Structure 1
Amino acid sequence: MDRQRNVVLEALLDEFDFTHRSLADEVNRAAEAIFGRPGDCGDRHVRRWISGEVRWPWTRYLLPLERIFDRPAQALGFVPRGKSSANLPRPPRPAQQEEGPVQRRQFGRLIAATAATTVTAALGIDQTPTHGRLSMSDVERVHERIGRMDAHFFSIGGGPLISVSTAYIDRLRAALDGCAYGDRVEKALHGAISSLYASAGWACHDSGDPTQAALLHTASLQSAMLAADPSAVARAWSNLAMQARLEGRHREAVQITRAALDNRRARQDPHIAALLHARLAIGQARTTDRTGAARSLLAAERAYDRVDPSRPAPTWLSFLTPAELSGLAAITHQALGQYGRAEAATVQALDLLPPSMRRNRTYYSVQLAELQLAQGERQQAAATVADLDASALDSRRITDRLTAVRRTLNA
């Protein structure tokens, strides 16, 4: 049988940040937990598995590998020698012991990497060609995958999308370097890369890494300019304005948003215009420009009124619904100290949100509890977060705020 490299296992090593030696050590630790005696795995074993020299390792190695990566042996790229060899024994797991801080961090990284691998495989990122000639049909498939990534974010948050997005960017850059294409395809690919940088920036923001988020949003703007796409440029400027606001540079955020609105294409697109005006209102509220904030909220509503239901928004703007506009208005009122109006707008946002947007629902539920606490409504705040479960979300930004609310309630 011809030797075939185990690219699945090789990718997992890279994803989990394992060297050959460190994986061998981890196999030995898992073997001791399973069989009650230390394992004898070395880096030579790992090299032979990856090279394809050994396509179905012995059970004493396979069971630890399955436990480490939390998936069956065949999902690790191994090929059984026959039907009987594929039926591995299933020893009982040892009694759960208390994990130390290092173990918890390793487990968290493992879960995140597993999720990233799963999303990557589900999207079929590795199916994007890096040789031959590209057509607009190829680009359409790229954008369809990006749309599914955005849907994942709106459902549970950023999490694995950081590594997934950056991996896809590398794939598309390889396509730009290795394929033949026309000018239209080239610009569309740069537009896709800009979108991926924007998604990765939001994922970093959700994961509590503002420094990396700022770098990614800047890269998004550069790719948008190469794409000569006014909508992508407006999106990048909007994200940079939000980044400035989160870092406390509120006047700069206002200036950036106004610059984005100077783009005629952005003003003419009712979805983009509504988002920019709503975010401008927040910036103006943070700089105590009450009149400007009120005008911008009204402009956002008028822009959204121009939306044609028969022409859906780009996938990255699918979150911009009447619910989101109410939520952004609530943030504006909160910044102005109008807590009663902010609470009412947040309630309206929750009433309008579709069930599929679990991340946003949790976000605005936490915001509602914060507003209730700010007004001394402790019982209402406790009721708001009583049944709130953020365990399925992958957003440090939201979970940290929820933890802070519960800590205040328990104080």
Structure 2
Amino acid sequence: MTPANCPRCGGRLARDNDSGRCAPCQAAERDRLSSPPAVPASFWEHEPVRRALAERHLGRVVRAYRHHPYHGRQPLPQTVVAGWLGITQAQLSRVENGPPLVHLDRLIHWSQLFRIPSRFLWFSLPGRSIEVAQPDVATVKEVGPAFPPALTDADTTASAQGGDTTDRRQFHALAALAGIAASGSLDLLAAPTDAPRSIGMEQVSYAGSLVDKFRRADAAVGANELCDIAIRVHAQLSMWAAKATYSRDVGEALQATLADLAIETAWLTIDANRRAVARAYLNEAITRARFIDDPQMEVRAFAHLALLTCQDRPGESRHSAEAALRSSAGWGTPRLATLLHLRTARTFATLNDISGFNRAMSKAQREFERGANEDDMPFLHFVTPQEIKGIEGLSYLALGMPGRAADAFRTITANPSPALRRNRIYYSVQLADAACRQGNLDEAAHTAMNLLPEIDQVSSGRVSRLFAQVRSSLGRPQRSTAASREFVEAYDQAVKG
């Protein structure tokens, strides 16, 4: 009998080899159990893998990956692959045999971990774009509400020139979200009177893509214009989900999508300076994440809750960050740990605990120095050296050290992150505030004056509120200088205009 060949390297196997791998490849196998191997391009052409990718079911892709002949006669154990993904074997089993994943962060994270070529994916990777084939509208209408018509030039012109204040304020946001209509998503911007009584996976997938649209639109037009729309969409989808019927598999996917939408809505309310309504969305996201045993979603919600409560409820903020650290133990990346330690550091500063602040900042710096990781969740893109300095500056302000805070903020303005414009402007306004508190009124006025042309280009209630506070501080008679008077006059003129 002719001995078989090793599926990995092509070498001939000895007659008594029953492992399906040659000795060198078995050694390589032992060395790579900590992470997925680099596989050849032909790996993704294997029929079961191609079929799973065509079905847009990442769990089935993982199962086909494990059973690929490249790995030998025996499939990769679920325990090994689950270790790569930072989940348990039981969780991986549910992923492989349950409904398709719709949480975009996890789809991106896992596809990058397995190095799936982007041409096989049905979603966009960060920094890339793809053309996704449109579903058959006639088929989709049978299982979901009607699709909205694509926005036309006439529609956008009419919206821009007429309508009430809300219409005008939301025009640019709606334009940024126009791709929803073109991509065949649900009409969640208006109350559907003929919504079906059942929900299928098709609708859940479209709703998941809508959350990604909100993230992109937030980067383009800011939170102020999107906040009301997100609240309406969340209410609409939640109401529909509460009244409709669906299978258990669809229900799990729906819970993940609703949790993701709740977190995004919470962030938009925070940045739009409507913090009072954010908590309910984050509590909802945590509950839904626990329903479906999704630790990554839960950790994201706790991280946002720590941000929301850091000033008014620092004790709760600390507990939220610590809960996120516990939940991410065993699978969290250094960047995630950096963010959570930064959240903790700021709460210690608010509590006037200098030693606790220093310990947490040291931990954050050590984790950050471990570098980025291919397993980093996409939402961590803003965790940069500038963000570390920014949190340090905010903490020094809370500790009553405006001079040290100003030094931290100057570091950011001297070396800004070009991709994070909103954060740069936010910390520049903080520099003006810190300089003002320090008594350096001319620096505060000059910094604020230089920012004045950019403020209208950043739709963030947080930034606008803080900038108004700087104007109020510099406008006090006892703080009058030539530079401060010039800024106050220019600010007031801009507000009137």
The reply to whether TM is greater than 0.5 is yes
In 2 relative to 1, CA 180–109 (structure 1 residues): closer, same or farther, beyond 3 Å?
closer
Which piece of structure 1 moves more, 255-264 or 169-178?
A: 169-178
Within 5 Å, give how 1:351-362 maps onto structure 2. Answer: 351-362=414-425
- TM-score norm. by structure 1 comes to 0.65
Which piece of structure 1 moves more, 214-223 or 280-289?
A: 214-223
Matching of residue 121 in structure 1 with residue 178 in structure 2:
yes
Which residue identity is paired with 1:70? Answer: A
Q: Which residue in 1 is equivalent to 2:70?
A: none
Q: Which residue in 2 is equivalent to 1:274?
A: 338
Which piece of structure 1 moves more, 141-150 or 213-222?
A: 141-150
> Structure 1, residues 272-295: CA drift from partner, whole Å, max 9, x if none?
211111010000111121111111
Report deviation, 1:244. 2.3
In 2 relative to 1, CA 302–214 (structure 1 residues): closer, same or farther, beyond 3 Å?
same
8 Å CA contact 2:392, 2:405 repeated in 1: yes
Q: Could you say what secondary structure the match of 2:273 adopts?
A: coil
> Structure 1, residues 120-151: CA drift from partner, whole Å, max 9, x if none?
32344972468785379x74x76555344324
Q: Which residue in 2 is equivalent to 1:191?
A: 256
Q: Which residue in 2 is equivalent to 1:375?
A: 438
Match of 2:455 among 368, 390, 393: 390
Match of 1:110 among 154, 167, 177: 167
Distance 2:301 2:354 in 1: 26
Distance 1:318 1:224 in 2: 22
Q: Which residue in 2 is equivalent to 1:252?
A: 316
Q: Which residue in 1 is equivalent to 2:473?
A: 408
Q: Which residue in 2 is equivalent to 1:303?
A: 367
Within 5 Å, give how 1:217-256 maps onto structure 2. Answer: 217-246=282-311, 248-256=312-320
Distance 1:239 1:126 in 2: 30
8 Å CA contact 1:150, 1:315 repeated in 2: no
Q: Could you say what secondary structure the match of 1:394 adopts?
A: coil
Report deviation, 1:233. 0.7
Report deviation, 1:156. 4.6
Q: Which residue in 1 is equivalent to 2:201?
A: 134
Report deviation, 1:353. 3.5
In 2 relative to 1, CA 250–133 (structure 1 residues): closer, same or farther, beyond 3 Å?
closer
Q: How many residues align?
A: 310
Which residue identity is paired with 2:428? Answer: S
Query: Structure 1: which 5+ runs fail to align?
Result: 1-62, 73-105
8 Å CA contact 1:285, 1:335 repeated in 2: yes
8 Å CA contact 1:267, 1:273 repeated in 2: no
In 2 relative to 1, CA 125–203 (structure 1 residues): closer, same or farther, beyond 3 Å?
farther
- TM-score norm. by structure 2 comes to 0.55
Which piece of structure 1 moves more, 260-269 or 207-216?
A: 260-269
Q: Which residue in 2 is equivalent to 1:162?
A: 227
Report deviation, 1:192. 2.8
Larger Rg: 2
8 Å CA contact 1:369, 1:380 repeated in 2: yes
In 2 relative to 1, CA 66–397 (structure 1 residues): closer, same or farther, beyond 3 Å?
closer
Of Structure 1 and Structure 2, which has the larger fraction of its residues in helix? 1
8 Å CA contact 1:197, 1:219 repeated in 2: yes
- Relative contact order (C-alpha < 8 Å, sep 6+): which is higher? 1
8 Å CA contact 1:165, 1:200 repeated in 2: yes
Q: Matched residues, percent identical?
A: 24
